[in-house]
Amino acid sequence: MIASISIGTHITWRVLGQTIDVDTVLSTLVAGAVVLGVGFYLRAKATSGVPGKLQLAIETILDAVDEQVASAMGEAGRPVVPLAFTLFTFILIANWLELIPTGHSPQYLPAPSSDINFTAALAVFVIVLVHVTWIRKQGLRRYLGHYARPYLVFLPINVIEELVKPVTLALRLFGNIFSGAVLLLIIATPALATWIAPIPVLDVIWKLFDGLFVGPIQAFIFSLLTILYFQSAFAGEPEFASGNSR
């Protein structure tokens, strides 16, 4: 039964000898456009008086991110707030796109987080920015020196740890979103009709649960890990090495 299920199928184009997942690119562009559109709309409509529902929702999320950054890094971490907030909203909207029915298989607008290329790009972007920030805040000498902490013998382990960070960050987001898509396909398999009924109802329920609950949780985890990684850049210490780490 499971062997007959097709997963990881994309709408692809061949461009200059390279295969491009067009559906993932389209979903990413749409999610980015929505984030920018909401941002420009709030910029024009924002008020210091009684806020509208959209402004209130955005301010609530922004306050939560700001509080998390302040508890991790203090006032010095304020520059991280826009990045963490943008990553959260961008990944959240990207995950919610799959809730839009397109009547096509595969979906025209799948959750791009179910494509490892998308999550890998985000993870590499975040980790590279963390290392750049670390060098700018602590200096090149201290940055290179942290690889030899607490002793020089730990140099290979620390280097491997830094190399693995983007891999684990990408796979965590990808695995959770992709596994939801796999489970949805398994639920929809006709062979389960004699055991689970009604299939269409379960299909819709799981898709809503996956999009409305799992999607926000994974967006939150990604942004939270981003904050924790930047904490090391501002503090100049490896994560979880000090009493203030989590």
Pick the range with the lowest mean pLDDT from 51-65, 152-166, 190-204, 211-225.
Answer: 190-204
Q: Are 157 and 146 in contact (CB under 8 A)?
A: no
Q: Which helix (H) or strand (E) holds 206?
A: helix 199-209
Distance CA(27)–CA(21), nearest Å, equals 10
242 domain-assigned:
no
Number of domains in the chain: 1
- DSSP-derived letter for residue 213 is I
Which contacts (CB < 8 Å, 24+ apart) does range 5-11 have? Answer: 5/182, 5/185, 5/186, 5/189, 6/185, 7/178, 7/181, 7/182, 7/185, 8/114, 8/178, 9/105, 9/106, 10/106, 10/110, 10/115, 11/106, 11/108
> pLDDT tens across 208-234, in order?
666 677 788 889 999 999 999 998 888
Q: Which comes out higher in pLDDT, residue 170 or 5?
A: 170
Structure tokens at 113: 């987080």
The pLDDT of residue 239 is 45
Position 82 scores a pLDDT of 92
Residue 76 within any structural domain of the chain? yes
Tell me the CA distances in angstroms from 56 to 40, 46, 134, one per residue in order.
15, 10, 34
For the packed helices 116-138 and 215-235, what is the interaxial angle rounded to 10 degrees?
Answer: 20
* Cβ–Cβ under 8 Å, residues 103 and 206: no
- Is the pLDDT at 23 greater than 80? The verdict is yes
The answer as to whether 28 is a domain residue is yes
pLDDT attached to residue 159: 93
Per the domain annotation, does 69 fall within a domain?
yes
> Is residue 206 in a domain?
yes
- Report in angstroms the alpha-carbon separations of 230 from 79, 126, 211, 217: 10, 9, 28, 20
Domain-located, residue 218: yes
Mean pLDDT across the chain, nearest whole number?
Answer: 80
* Better pLDDT: 30 or 198: 30
Q: By residue range, what is the domain housing residue 102? A: 2-235
Q: pLDDT-based confidence at 206, cuts 50/70/90?
A: low
CA–CA dist 189, 142 (Å, integer)? 55
Q: Is residue 240 in a domain?
A: no
Q: Tell me whether residue 220 is in a domain.
A: yes
> What band does 102 get if pLDDT is binned at 50, 70 and 90?
low
For the stretch 134-158, pLDDT in tens is 999 888 988 998 888 888 899 999 9
